[in-house]
Structure 1
Amino acid sequence: MKGPVMLRLVKSLSSSEKRQFKMATKKQQQSKAYVFLFDLIDQSEQADWKQLKTAFKKKFPNSSMESSADYLFQSITDVLIQNKIKNDLSFKLMYGLMKIDLFRQRNLAEQAIAEINNLLPAADNIQQLSLKYILKREQLNIFSETNFEGISEKTLIAEQQAARELLRDLRNAQEHHALYEILKHRLTHTTSANTTAKKVILDDLVLSELAIVNNKTRHHLESQQLHLLFQSFYFTRIGDYQSALKTFYVLNNLFEKHLVRLPHPPMDYYATLDGILESLRMIRHDSEMPYFIEKLYQLDRPAYPDYFRSLVKKTGLLYELNLYAFQKDWKTAIDKIDATPRSSYKDFPMVHDKKQAELLFYTALCFYHTKNFKKAIRFLNEVLLKKTINYSLPCYRVCRLFNIVLQYEMKDLEYLDYEIRSYKRFFSGKNGLLPLEKYLFKIVALRPFLNPKYKNRQLWQQLQPLRDAAGKTTAEADLLSYFDFIEWSVGKFPEKEDH
């Protein structure tokens, strides 16, 4: 069992789930080393696996922490699965299918048939076609095993036809999934920024997708969702933003209309809203963002697990700060941050690491623009001080770069030199420094605030080649989408030209 996985699982538990786990452990008589490990993880602020291992060995020198972690993982997942069976129709159906198989193995045909009859109405209220087909196949298997007792040929043929239709729908859904996945792969990995070129490499996918939509098969909820996701992703990436926007609204209405049929919690709906808001942020349609932010907040419901509600609240706050940043409304942003309970930042920090880091970054960005650099650094440090961060990802890399900007504004020159050396060491073994980073570090090294005006004018001219090279790559564009380091650099040379 890998430490980070165990840490993430425990940190995702709500208070009620922790109580359920503790109640389950009281019924067991074996060693409670795994319970001690649970408490260690639960009570630790900075979850460091090596430190936890030292504390565990001190308490249980003769026990294997790895074995205890494996057993703890199994115990927690058992509790969570039981909760899902109670609250999620898909889990209830999968659990029922296991019971049916068990009854068939023990030659308990009547119980198997009763379980199928109990599950069939529930199956109509979910969108997983694969589970529906398996249930239908189990029903036909039992008919055959009981020699079709009480089943007319007409009924048998009708049930067989129902199974065929489910298989056909399932095949169409698979084809839709395949096209959507290839679309995302092509658009994610294409290097061309030309809209016409993008359309050309997608022509075959668009035609295939239209063929699926226009065939005479039934279009289930899953198929409708995939069609709209395909359309929205396609329109956004080729620059047809008006069509993309229309699709966003239709897609949201579809999810909203069928909310009761979605899994519990509705992660697909959350992911769709998150994707829509990220697209709107990318294409700068800030006027449309409040509508979808509100739809996102509506998923914060008492019926859903606490970790999901926390993720919804963090994501909503993140896009609100995105919106205020785009509008440069820093006062409203700070008012929103001040009105937000600290628990919105602290709760379930490991449920979605990237969202947590982005939220802390944008909060720091808001304090930076209101000249409260100390608070900005305090929030940013919550990202930087974590030991499990992958700094090669844009959202983490930009946090390290932005930290250098903040330290420059604070005039902490000794720390700046140390941090830049550390940054260069870390990325020298990766793909090397980006032109944008070389440019930024050069400016910091020149210390413009210490120079006379005439020297800064000379330095500004000398920096022209570095400045021209910066910001041209996709990786640099990703960093600049968070913070415009090039614009920041211009402000460091207020006397760059003669007037």
Structure 2
Amino acid sequence: MIALELEKMVRSLSPAEKKHFRLSASGTEKEKDYLLLFDLLCKENKSLAEVESLFGKKTRAASFDNTVHYLFKVLTDQLVTVRVGQDKWYARHHAFMKARLCFERSLPGRAHHELKKTQQLALQAQDHTLYYQAVREELNYLADVGFPGMNEQEVVDLQMRSKQALKELHQIHEHHSLYELLKLRLINEQIGLERNGKMINDLVLGELGIISMGGRHLFESRKTHLLFQSFFLVHTKQYHPALNVFKALNALFEENESLWNNPPYDNLSALDGILDNLYSIGYYHEMDFFTGKLEQLMARPYPEHFRNLCYQTFCLHRLSSMAGAQAFDDALAFIRQIHDTVLLNTGFHKTDKQLQLLLFATITCFQHRQYDEANRYVSFALNGHKAMSAALAYRACRLMHILIHYETGNTAYLDYEIRAFKRFYSKHGRHYRLEKLLFRTVQLNPKMCSQPRKKAAYEKISPAIEEARENHDEKPMLKYFDFFEWISGCYTR
């Protein structure tokens, strides 16, 4: 497992980061096994098995597993060191660690200086957890040395600062707790809004109570409040108010740029979530505003790995908005544009996004009846993302694979693939109705039926299609592709 994690980490490194690692690792030793392994992992189109084989041939005395563990340790340690100079979160925690170290080595003056630095950085970032820890550490130190030169009021003021940090932290915790319970109750298929409206309303009232008690002054509480609202509105199908909340959430981030980490992963995550929600509710044209915000993040001088992730996220949502709006000509042109840099680039480390990109590329080519290219993309997705076989996007890829082989007349393969699909997902959750209807259609093969038989078969299956389409449990599988429309088309075209 750690070898796979190491491979993923090395592939995610930018050229500048790779160069920096090699320079920092170079020393007096003539040969370093972990550097050899690093160079092998950096080579493109080399599988982990090939890397292990090459490493064994070049260093027969070295253990591959031990070298993997050592390289992972050295690489992560160096990346953490680099991040201290880039990211405020790392910087303030690093200052706190230095304070603890100075106390251990009997350097109280330097330790107290680092504690004050930690408090200042934590206060600027509204990091209440670290701020409390730093103030508590200062109080412990002052108590040990007898509060030199301090009166009672100064000590009480320090205690009140730590108490206020705890109070704000508790408030944020309560806000997150209500948001998490809302998500659980709305997502859980056993607890729906119609059946348990009172339980949902209680959460809404509790959340409003928290925000009215002072949470509106805290960035984290305001952010969670807007997330709570957006999630509630989307799941109650109040889409236009939800769009306004999405815009308010983006405005909140832009108004509080001083609180961003460097790079701002939290902001990127919020934009990603907004765009995913807009795609899910069919507001494809509204996505342009937020993909524009992703472009603005990409244009800033952030580390390359972050800008790569921004670009990957941008490409995913641009392609999904085109596919959702049925603008498949534009989508195909966009696929040609990003083919080598994104679609087939194994260096991007967000594999869930890479899988979805390949799925949308497959769907676009499928709609253009370019089945060979569609099969190429879906095969790349299935072979390269087996670790995500339980994900909905992977399941949709397997269904698209079946559709492609059906359209190309590869019936011999279809029987095998359908059996394999049923066998795998019977062990990993239930089957969807649309899957059963799809398999039933493929096995009947309407293309080879006479018109009277095809018409009779459609009259028999169409009520089941309409009933399944109205079933809420089938909605997740329709997020990427309307399989019901394809099934109906097999009988009517």
TM-score normalised by L of structure 2: 0.92
Secondary structure at the aligned position of 2:261 is classed as: coil
Match of 2:446 among 445, 448, 458: 448
Which AA in structure 1 matches 2:139? Answer: L
Match of 1:366 among 364, 367, 373: 364
CA distance in 2, matches of 1:307, 1:261: 21
2:204 maps to 1:199: no
Q: Deviations over 1:433-489 (max 9, x none)?
A: 433222212222223223332332233345457646645665632222211111112
**Counterparts in 2 of 1:254-333, with a 5 A limit?**
254-333=252-331
Residue number in structure 2 paired with 1:172: 171
Greater mean alpha carbon deviation, residues 85-94 or residues 263-272? 263-272
Change (3 A) 1:458 1:79: same
Whole-angstrom CA distance in 2 between matches of 1:56 and 1:257: 51
1:253 Cα offset (Å) = 0.6
- CA 1:214–1:424: 2 relative to 1, 3 Å: closer
After TM superposition, the structure 1 = structure 2 runs for residues 124-143 of structure 1, keeping only pairs within 5 Å, are: 124-143=123-142
User: Which residues of 2 match residues 1-400 of structure 1 at below 5 A?
Assistant: 2-27=2-27, 29=29, 32-45=32-45, 47-48=47-48, 50-191=49-190, 195-216=193-214, 219-340=217-338, 342-347=340-345, 349=347, 351-386=349-384, 388-400=386-398
* SS class of match (1:284): coil
What is the Cα deviation at residue 344 of structure 1?
2.5
Deviation, structure 1 residue 323: 1.8
Instruction: Output the aligned Cα RMSD.
Output: 2.5
Residue pair 1:236, 1:244 contacting (<8 A) in 2 also: yes
The number of equivalent residue pairs is: 493
Q: For residue 22 of structure 1, what is the amino acid of its counterpart? A: R
* Cα drift, residue 402 of structure 1: 0.5
What do residues 352-393 of structure 1 show as CA deviations (whole Å, max 9, x unaligned)? 221111111112211222222222222222202226333232
TM superposition outliers: structure 1 runs of 4+ over 6 Å: none
AA aligned to 2:21 is F
Could you tell me how far apart the structure 1 residues matched to 2:99 and 2:176 are? 29
Distance 2:63 2:472 in 1: 46
Q: 2 CA distance for matches of 1:74 and 1:305?
A: 21
Check whether the contact 1:127–1:262 (CA below 8 A) recurs between aligned residues. no
Deviation at 1:397, TM superposition (A): 0.6
Cα offset, 1:59, TM superposition: 3.1
User: Residues of 1 paired with 2:69 and 2:315: CA distance?
Assistant: 36
1 CA distance for matches of 2:89 and 2:40? 33
Which one-letter code corresponds to 2:170 in the other structure? R
User: Between the two proteins, what is the percent identity of the paired residues?
Assistant: 32
Whole-Å separation in 2 of the counterparts to 1:471 and 1:242: 24
AA at the equivalent of 1:166: A
Distance 1:31 1:177, change over 3 A: farther
* Residue identity in the other structure for 2:289: Y
1:198, 1:238 within 8 Å by CA — same for their partners in 2? no
Alpha carbons of structure 1 residues 261 and 347: separation in structure 2 relative to 1, 3 Å: farther
CA contact (8 A) 1:456 1:493 kept: yes
Matches within 5 A, 1:344-493: 344-347=342-345, 349=347, 351-386=349-384, 388-431=386-429, 433-464=431-462, 467=465, 470-471=468-469, 476-493=474-491
Gap change, CA 1:466 and 1:82, over 3 Å in 2:
same
Cα shift at 1:432:
5.6
Q: Which runs of 5+ in 2 are unaligned?
A: none
Other structure's SS at 1:342 match = helix
Query: Shift of the alpha carbon at 1:75?
Result: 0.7
Work out the CA distance in 2 between the residues paired with 1:466 and 1:176. Answer: 43
Against the structure 1 CA distance between its residues 6 and 185, is the aligned structure 2 distance closer, same or farther, given a 3 Å change threshold? same
* Alpha-carbon distance between aligned partners in 1 of 2:387 and 2:118, rounded to the nearest angstrom: 44
Task: Give the direction of change, closer, same or farther, for the CA distance of 1:100–1:427 in structure 2 (3 Å limit).
Answer: same
Shift of the alpha carbon at 1:30? 9.2
Contact map agreement 1:389 1:396 (CA 8 A) in 2? no
Calculate the TM-score normalised by the size of structure 1: 0.91
Cα pair 1:471 1:480 within 8 Å, conserved: no
Asked if the contact 1:310/1:344 (under 8 Å) is kept, the reply is no
